Chains A and B, each alone.
Chain A
């Protein structure tokens, strides 16, 4: 049996706030992601979801427990092994403006990320830009982050994440900063990447409608623990845990829109709409 892409086993993390006050951010959480799978980690602020994401990325060492990347224990690796494990997972963050260097062009951002895999060329960078919908790529190479719109900036961070050819993207609230009309564009981009490249996602989000539409499995986190986990369709329609029910009830429902959209291929499939 091939090992799971990412296997988080019983990890815990405690932060010390003051001399006496400690915060248990994550309490013995286990989570497995297989190749090509999309898992949404849902929780409110302070639930520990970002801490778990950072531990999965190798950015924060857990107090106890293990993080296995394709069977290898991430925090026991060093040198070339550690680099190759890290290349397998790439992050996309919420605030694209903060995640990009304002003094570097799109070319510099991408060449640096491509260099992880060896010699990088400008053509590869341009191709990456086109793969995230920034066409023609050559035109965007010389742009600085401030010369891009919010949606384009998030596309650039996705292109950078794709550069080392990862097998898993860990996206921490990638849509929170985006307007509603842009959100669908970024979701479609993530969907295309998943279909074309078979990349797995750990999507960290507080947005239940996004999790519902996008993920195969969901894990609901509260106060450092995963309280419920299972297929998205099941957990988000027939929640077992009281907290999940409470969370779902708090999401304001939209009345059903009766209009269809005249443009072909732009129609809402009735089976998929809420």
Chain B
């Protein structure tokens, strides 16, 4: 067994709607090993949330199709899982929390009951009431919250409830899809602190999906950068942030820092992010890239390992495995 809780290998995934096929993920490879924190960053429409849903079998079966590649969860091949198979995987070994807790909580059900549902479903051997108290304590909510309705809680408290439900099943991997995007910075800092503590106490791996590079830098050991359904760069967080190799990753980092150039203008990436499902031949970033060459629009570049120790890898024609590449940044 590989020790990876989640492993996607060359996964190509598409949605079909009204005869139109939209490729949301294109040859995506990613893994999360036991206990580690991995970040997945990308802009809206890059496919990062689709990836989260695919990893839990949450995509609508009538529209969704895995075209190629493999999904492995906790050492088992989940590529061709049925809905029944998936329902056994959700909660344990893999659980998820979403951006907007209000839309994932039942508005007319007390919070304690909603946490209890998860306990009954996944760990029926446990006494429910003490376990609910224990979970509320773990996410640092007062026990009285069990009798509250979601609307009576603040945004940060609701996210804690969602976390309590997710960890109720003792997952080995928690997928957190933009868990703090709807929150204020000070609340965000509390939730990130709580996530780190829960990971330590429960020895849980995390896949943190975000458009916010800052929170990923803070919370994750490794990072993947996604653009238009493809992963374009990955490696240890420090390697990718300090020496980004892909022009998109570089631009994104400067933009996130609100860096300015010598004329005092903000560094930007020209053009617009591609629409969902626009699948150009070659590198999807070529249209916006200052370094685009003829190769870029012909073929998607292969993955090139830049540094063994940090696992820093990039898919860009500027970096060629034979060392005959163009400018290295």
Residues of A within 8 A of B (CB): 44-45, 149-152, 179-185, 187-188, 191, 206, 208-210, 212-214, 246-247, 249-263, 265-269, 272-274
Contact = CB atoms under 8 A, between A and B. Distances in A.
B255 interface: yes
Contacts of A246: 186
A139 to B, nearest CB: 16
Contact of B256 (A151, A214, A254, A261): A254
Contact of B189 (A206, A250, A260, A267): A250
Contacts of B185: 44, 206, 208, 247, 250-251
Contacts of B43: 179-181
Contacts of B270: 185
A262 B242 contact: no
A252 B272 contact: no
Place the interface of chain B in its size category: 35 or more
B242 A256 contact: yes
A132 to B, nearest CB: 15
Nearest to A212: B258
Q: Which has the most chain B C-beta neighbours within 10 Å: A208, A251, A257?
A: A257
B218 A273 contact: no
Contacts of A272: 259-260, 264
A184 B267 contact: yes
A182 B241 CA distance: 20
Nearest to B248: A181
B254 interface: yes
B268 A184 contact: yes
B263 interface: yes
Contacts of A269: 260-262, 264
B251 A252 contact: no
B238 to A, nearest CB: 6
A272 B264 CA distance: 8
Interface of B: 43-44, 184-186, 188-189, 192, 211-215, 217-218, 237-238, 241-244, 250-270, 272-273, 290-291, 327, 329
Given A213-B258, A255-B217, A184 B269 contact: yes
A117 B256 CA distance: 39
A255 B184 CA distance: 22
A267 B251 CA distance: 11
Q: Which has the most chain B C-beta neighbours within 10 Å: A44, A259, A262?
A: A259
B184 A257 contact: no
A44 B189 CA distance: 13
Given A179-B43, A261-B254, A274-B257, A206 B217 contact: no
A31 B292 CA distance: 48
A106 B322 CA distance: 51
Given A262-B327, A265-B263, A272-B259, A253 B273 contact: no
Contacts of B254: 257, 261, 268
Nearest to B155: A45
B297 to A, nearest CB: 19
Given A253-B214, A254-B217, A187 B258 contact: yes
A274 B270 CA distance: 22
A108 to B, nearest CB: 24
Contacts of B259: 268, 272-274
